[in-house]
Copies of this chain bind each other. A is one copy, B any other.
């Protein structure tokens, strides 16, 4: 029955497998929010679907509910008013355990086909998801569509492809014959069972609830684990829709839909600690702040823990042959979603002697000023500015701007508000730029999440590279940008930053930005510095989610009915 799903999505899987082995550009799901692709009424339908959730009870036919929970607010200025089932934790875990018994015995093809169908349906509902992402995270609509929809789906598909590759790189049955003497041999039939590590817990964040959750969610599902999704209390809807779609597909295919469940909670009554320390839990995927991520790594020792935490992302500017393109590129990176991306640059290191450019030598002040000017231009058009900036997800991020300003540094640019014509109550702040010296480590050698940028004056380029690498090594970093026309400087920076475990982008200009990470090609998070312990996605991200446990029986002899067939 479910073989049909595997067959109908087989070419998608094959392309994805090809992509992860080539890592050139590929995408399964179109990123353009166009009616020509998604259907002429797709946007209107998506918006209507989103609106139907507002001030309503979210329909999720899952067991183990006792009351409801939910108090999401759109960062664009209104309450969503959606209530979700409040889980009875023990009952939910027992339901997941029961469901896993059947799920783990499904064939790899059945599980993979179901995952691919879920992704396909998520893709069809990308507009609905875009509105859900926009009004929980604060992302502008275009970004919400792309990052929360097709890009997230691509990341999920990438995880399915890696899981499939990992489970099928060795056979599940073999016949083993060994000569044990001149005339005698022994033959064994061996079966290699895939045993899931499960249950899998997926802990979502408030800024990228789908993009950051789908890799772990789909990797755990594909490898036979039941999954409990614990969304951030501020961004439940995108994952509730995801779970609803997944449960529908499972049910249609004859599986216990409790293979995937939602465990929503409230900010003032968090359930995550209790959830992740349950002995039935075998896998935890976490995206979020360092403090709680470290707590999980320290306390959920019985499980395989995959974390993407936060970092302090550096940039080093030495020289450029296109000042305008460089500053324009940086300004967009710094502004996109108000710096609320885990990949946004925070610290820009510039030598005190300044930089060489196609417009001649620029002093430190002129170099920093050129970036500020590019920001001012980019955000000067309120329509464009509001779309790029989106809104600030959490009030505490907005509050951080003033707090950080009081800590010190010269203000090169104030975090001016930008008006949003459609949502006048939106929480919109543009990047604040502070100028500090290399010695002011207590100011910049820490994460200041949000629209806050430090321009750091260093003795020279060597010190800039050293401090950037130390940022990554000590504080963690997910991205690093380097600008130089000198291949020796680039090589030196690359060497130091790679050693510090941070992916490096050199001389980006035009429509590619340091904070963008493409599925099937870019390894997102290296696992080699404190910003996280796992890469989205590589083999190391999927292989610990299951084990091979073998049985062997001599031939000829009674063969046990295959227990896991």
Q: What 1/0 mask marks residues of chain A from 499 to 537 whose CB sits below 8 Å from any chain B CB?
A: 101111111111110000010011100111000000100
Nearest CB of B to A118, in Å: 25
A543-560 interface (Cβ within 8 A of B): 543-544, 547-554, 557-560
Given contacts A195-B526, A560-B490, A502 and B24 within 8 Å (CB-CB): no
Binds B, one of A182-190, A231-239, A449-457: A182-190
What is the oligomeric copy number? 2
> Which residues of chain A from 182 to 235 have a CB within 8 Å of any chain B CB?
184, 186, 188, 190, 192-193, 195, 197
* Bound-complex Cα distance A280 to B527 (A): 16
Q: Which residues of B contact A25 (CB under 8 A)?
A: 176-178
Q: Does chain B have a CB within 8 A of A3? A: no
**The stretch of A56-64, A420-428, A480-488 that contacts the partner chain:** A480-488
In contact, A523 and B549 (Cβ under 8 angstroms)? yes
Query: Does A563 interact with chain B (Cβ within 8 Å)?
Result: yes
Q: Is A266 an interface residue (CB 8 A)?
A: no
Given contacts A190-B521, A494-B563, A558-B490, contact A511 B184 (CB under 8 A): yes
A512 and B186 form a contact (CB under 8 A): yes
Q: How far is the CA of A21 from the CA of B168 in the complex (A)?
A: 9
Complex contact A22–B174 (CB within 8 A)? yes
Contact of A549 (CB < 8 Å), options: B180, B301, B498:
B498
Given the interface contacts A170-B538, A190-B23, A521-B176, does A505 sit within 8 Å of B552 by beta carbon?
A: yes
> Which B residues touch A181, using CB under 8 A?
511
Min C-beta distance of A527 to chain B, whole Å: 5
CA distance A553 to B494 in the complex (A): 11
A554 in contact with B512 (CB, 8 Å): yes
* Set of chain B residues within 8 Å of A485, measured between Cβ atoms: 558
Q: Report the minimum CB–CB distance from A101 to chain B (whole Å).
A: 9
Other-chain contact of A551, B166, B188, B498 (Cβ < 8 Å): B498
- For the complex, what is the distance from the CA of A487 to the CA of B189, rounded to whole Å? 15
| Distance from A539 Cβ to chain B, minimum over Cβ atoms (Å) | 5
A192 touches B523 (CB 8 A): yes
The reply to whether the CB of A495 lies closer than 8 angstroms to some CB of chain B is yes
Q: Are A195 and B501 in contact (CB under 8 A)?
A: yes
Which partner residue on chain B sits nearest A484 by CB separation?
Answer: B558
Bound together, the chains give a CA A197 to CA B178 distance in angstroms of 37
Q: How far apart sit A511 and B188, CA to CA, in the bound complex (Å)?
A: 11
Which residue in B24, B484, B548 is a CB contact (below 8 Å) of A176?
B24
Asked whether any CB of chain B lies closer than 8 Å to the CB of A1, the reply is: no
- The complex places the Cα of A509 from the Cα of B178 at a distance, in Å, of 14
Is A20 in the interface zone, CB < 8 Å from B? yes
Structural contact, A171 and B22, CB atoms closer than 8 A: yes
Q: Given the complex of chains A and B, what is the CA–CA distance between A549 and B538 in angstroms?
A: 11
User: How far apart are the CA atoms of A180 and B178 in the complex, in Å?
Assistant: 58
A139 to B503, CA, bound (A): 50
Q: Is A267 an interface residue (CB 8 A)?
A: no
Partner of A548, one of B192, B487, B538, B558: B538
Q: Is the CB of B523 within 8 A of A554?
A: no
Query: A186-B512, A507-B554, A551-B504 given as contacts; is B522 within 8 A of A195 (CB)?
Result: no
Assess whether A491 is in contact with B553, with CB atoms less than 8 Å apart: no
Given contacts A165-B169, A535-B547, 11 further A-B pairs with CB under 8 A are A21-B169, A174-B521, A491-B563, A497-B551, A498-B563, A505-B552, A506-B552, A510-B554, A535-B548, A538-B548, A540-B543
Some 18 contacts from A to B, beta carbons below 8 A apart, are A23-B170, A25-B178, A195-B498, A487-B560, A488-B561, A490-B553, A491-B560, A491-B562, A495-B563, A505-B553, A506-B552, A506-B554, A506-B560, A526-B548, A527-B547, A535-B547, A540-B543, A540-B547
